């Protein structure tokens, strides 16, 4: 045991003392803070986002004239110019648009919007929504329907998600759970590959430099492999804990900054000298809106991050130990990193399959039979369970999954160690699956 501890200490200290390790500890939180700052600056001061667009309207149907509502950065202006002259004016004002509404506006592709630049989805969608509302109101008036009363009784329903727990009802956010599930799956997937590959590279370097022959004279191959796996795993755990602590502080600061800057000043349109804001009339109910960044920050407060963090640390460590044992066996079977691909793909295929499935099926069906089985099978559980955890996992499923992860780690470590003890002393011979089976059955 003392020899294993020495190997763990050596693997850990060699890596944490590297300048690259220390730099990455502070670089990742700084990148997160920079990302928040860039998003905020773009949303607040970007000329492209805050640029005022004028929509010049030629209404040949005379139904929509004067009925468009100005929005934050969109102003509607009627014009009596001909279509040819109006399009010629667009050459002088590249940020303006020309909306031509013919008499047969309800025909497919009859309404046209022209501009020097291609209109984005926001502008096209806003025009289309307003035109549909105006046309619907016009039809209702012709049918003798009182639109004022209809809009007065129009409701604005929003759903507040609640989760029933043993402690009572707790606030929940579907979007936040979705985001936390995807983020957890991505982090576990990347961590297993990044730190597992470090174990494999370390084995290959020691093998090709022939230093392994000296080391193996003092310790058993299993002790060397176990020490290397645990040492690198602790490096990854240290890095993630420091990232989480620093990133949490950065996120908290950025969230408070957003909450203190909720108010967005209204602007005056230079052409009309009118304040541009979302218009509300007696026909349309007043709606209080918040910045999307603030809504996202508030929704993530409903997520039980300590619980998710605890699950992440367990599945990161157990998944790392499971896969890194196999990576170490692969590293011992080859002489260079270029030869690892034939062995790596079958090992990582279950993890890759679950990762791809996370973005389509698992995140939308976290309690399905497939999701439950994937979160129990050790080779797929690290990713599948991190997708399910934010949505709530029954206690017995969590306990069974953790037990299977421990059993899976012990099983793969045993198999990998039997290949490792032979492979690290093999040079110049290209290994095959048949050779690996022979190595496994070699007697001590």
Q: What is the CATH number of the domain that holds 106?
A: 3.40.190.10
Predicted confidence (pLDDT) per residue in 229-258, tens digit: 888 888 888 888 888 788 777 767 766 665
Tokens of residue 284, six digits: 């349309």
Residue 128, CB-side half-sphere exposure with 13 Å CA sphere: 12
The reply to whether 165 falls in a domain is no
In a domain, 157, yes or no: no
The residue from 98, 127, 145 where one domain ends is 145
Q: How many residues comprise the chain? A: 444
Residues paired with residue 292 on neighbouring β-strands, in sequence order: none
Q: What is the pLDDT of residues 7-43, one digit of tens each?
A: 888 888 888 888 888 888 888 778 877 877 776 676 6
* Sole residue written with tokens 């599948």: 384
Q: Do 296 and 423 belong together in one domain? A: yes
> In whole angstroms, what is the distance from residue 235 CA to residue 230 CA?
9
Judgement on whether residues 334 and 188 belong to the same structural domain of the protein: yes
- The owner of tokens 């979160």 is 375
* 267 pLDDT above the threshold of 50: no
The residues that bridge with 172 in the sheet, in sequence order, are: 161
Q: SS3 of 101, please?
A: strand
pLDDT of 95 reads 72
Residue 334 pLDDT:
79
Beta strands 53-59 and 74-78 are parallel
Q: Which of 132-136, 156-160, 199-203, 405-409 has the lowest mean pLDDT?
A: 156-160
78 lies in the same domain as 179: no
* 188 and 386 Cβ atoms separated by less than 8 Å: yes
Percent of the chain at pLDDT above 90?
A: 5
For the chain, give the mean pLDDT. Answer: 76
Residue 186 lies in a domain: yes
- pLDDT of 281 above 50: no
Decide if pLDDT at 47 tops 70.
no
Question: Are 68 and 99 within 8 A, CB to CB?
Answer: no
Question: What pLDDT, on the 0 to 100 scale, is given for residue 254?
Answer: 64
Gap between the Cα atoms of 227 and 225, Å rounded? 6
Contacts of 275 (CB under 8 A, 6+ apart): 266, 267, 268, 269
Q: Is the pLDDT of residue 373 over 90?
A: yes
Long-range contacts of 184-187 (CB under 8 A, 24+ apart): 184/308, 184/311, 184/312, 184/386, 184/387, 184/389, 184/390, 185/355, 185/358, 185/383, 185/384, 185/386, 185/387, 186/355, 187/312, 187/316, 187/386
Are the beta carbons of 17 and 237 closer than 8 angstroms? no
Q: Is 112 helix (H, G, I), strand (E, B) or coil?
A: strand
Give residue 62's domain range. Answer: 52-145
Residue 297 has pLDDT above 60, yes or no: no
- pTM of this prediction exceeds 0.85: no
**CA 382 to CA 359: how far, in whole Å?**
15
In-domain check, residue 151: no
| Residue 435, pLDDT above cutoff 80 | no
Whether residue 256 sits in one domain with residue 138? no
Instruction: Select from 98, 126, 145 the last residue of a domain.
Output: 145
Rounded Cα gap, residues 387 and 183, in angstroms: 8
Residue 167 lies in a domain: no
Tokens 């957003």 locate to 258
Phi, psi (deg, nearest 5) at residue 277: -155, 170
Is the domain of 111 the same as that of 223? no
User: Residue 376 pLDDT more than 90?
Assistant: yes
In this structure, the answer to whether residues 276 and 364 fall within a common structural domain is yes
Same domain, 293 and 421: yes
Alpha carbon distance 35, 165 (integer Å): 35
Q: Are strands 168-172 and 161-165 parallel, antiparallel or unpaired?
A: antiparallel
Together in a domain, 311 and 381 = yes
* DSSP assignment of 51-83: --EEEEEEESSSSSTTT----SSEEEEE--S-H
308, 184 Cβ separation under 8 angstroms: yes
What is the CB-side half-sphere exposure of residue 358 using CA atoms within 13 A?
30
Please give the Cα distance from 297 to 250 (Å, whole number). Answer: 13
* Domain end call among 145, 163, 191: 145
- pLDDT of residue 85 exceeding 60, the answer is yes
Kindly indicate the confidence band of residue 284, based on its pLDDT and cuts at 50, 70 and 90. very low
- 56 and 6 both lie in a single domain: no
Q: Kindly state whether residue 44 falls inside one of the protein's structural domains.
A: no
DSSP characters for 169-236? EEEE-HHHHHHHHHHHHHHHHHHHHHHHHHHHHHHHHHHHTTHHHHHTTTS-HHHHHHHHHHHHHHHH
Q: Over 60: is that where the pLDDT of 291 sits? A: no
Confidence of residue 404 (pLDDT cuts 50, 70, 90): very high
Predicted pLDDT of residue 272: 43
Q: Looking at the domain assignment, is residue 159 inside a domain?
A: no
- State whether 34 and 107 are in the same domain: no
pLDDT value for 45: 62
Whether residue 6 lies inside any domain: the answer is yes
Specify whether 33 is located in the same domain as 64. Answer: no
Residues 186 and 286 in one domain: yes
- How many domains is the chain partitioned into structurally? 2
Identify the pLDDT of residue 46: 57
pLDDT bucket at 377, cuts 50 / 70 / 90: very high
Q: How confident is the model at residue 215 (pLDDT cuts 50, 70, 90)?
A: confident
């Amino acid at each position: 045991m003392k020899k294993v501890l020495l190997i763990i200490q050596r693997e850990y200290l060699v890596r944490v003392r590297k300048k690259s390790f220390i730099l990455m500890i502070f670089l990742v939180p700084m990148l997160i803070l920079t990302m928040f700052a860039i998003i905020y600056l773009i949303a607040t001061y970007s000329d492209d986002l805050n640029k005022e667009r004028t929509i010049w309207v030629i209404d040949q149907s005379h139904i929509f004239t004067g009925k468009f509502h100005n929005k934050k950065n969109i102003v509607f202006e009627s014009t009596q110019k001909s279509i040819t002259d109006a399009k010629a004016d667009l050459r002088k004002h590249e940020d303006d648009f020309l909306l031509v509404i013919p008499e047969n506006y309800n025909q497919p592709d009859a309404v046209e919007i022209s501009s020097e630049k291609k209109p984005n989805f926001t502008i096209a969608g806003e025009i289309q929504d307003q035109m549909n509302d105006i046309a619907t109101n016009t039809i209702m008036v012709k049918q003798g329907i009182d639109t004022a009363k209809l809009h007065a009784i129009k409701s604005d329903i929003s759903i507040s998600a609640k989760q029933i727990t043993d402690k009572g009802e707790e606030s929940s956010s579907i979007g936040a759970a979705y985001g936390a599930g995807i983020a957890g799956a991505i982090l576990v997937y990347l961590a297993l590959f990044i730190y597992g590959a470090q174990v494999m590279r370390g084995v290959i370097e020691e093998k090709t430099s022939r230093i392994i022959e000296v080391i193996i004279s003092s310790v058993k191959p299993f002790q060397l492999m176990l020490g290397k796996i645990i040492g690198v795993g602790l490096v990854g755990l240290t890095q993630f804990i420091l990232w989480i602590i620093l990133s949490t502080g950065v996120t908290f600061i950025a969230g408070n900054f957003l909450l203190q800057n909720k108010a967005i000043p209204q602007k005056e349109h230079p052409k009309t000298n009118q304040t541009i804001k979302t218009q509300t009339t007696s026909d349309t109910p007043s709606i209080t809106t918040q910045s999307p960044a603030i809504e996202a920050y508030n929704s993530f407060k409903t997520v039980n991050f300590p619980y998710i963090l605890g699950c992440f640390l367990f599945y990161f460590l157990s998944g790392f130990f499971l896969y890194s044992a196999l990576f170490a066996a692969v590293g011992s079977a080859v002489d260079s990193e270029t030869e690892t691909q034939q062995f790596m793909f079958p090992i990582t295929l279950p993890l890759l399959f679950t990762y791809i499935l996370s973005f389509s099926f698992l995140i939308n069906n976290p309690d399905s039979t497939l999701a439950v089985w994937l979160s129990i099978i050790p080779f797929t559980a690290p990713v599948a369970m991190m997708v399910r955890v934010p949505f709530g996992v029954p206690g017995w499923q969590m306990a069974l999954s953790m037990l299977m992860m421990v059993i899976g780690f012990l099983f793969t470590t045993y198999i990998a160690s039997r290949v490792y003890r032979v492979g690290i002393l093999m040079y110049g011979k290209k290994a095959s699956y048949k050779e690996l089976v022979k190595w496994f059955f070699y007697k001590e």
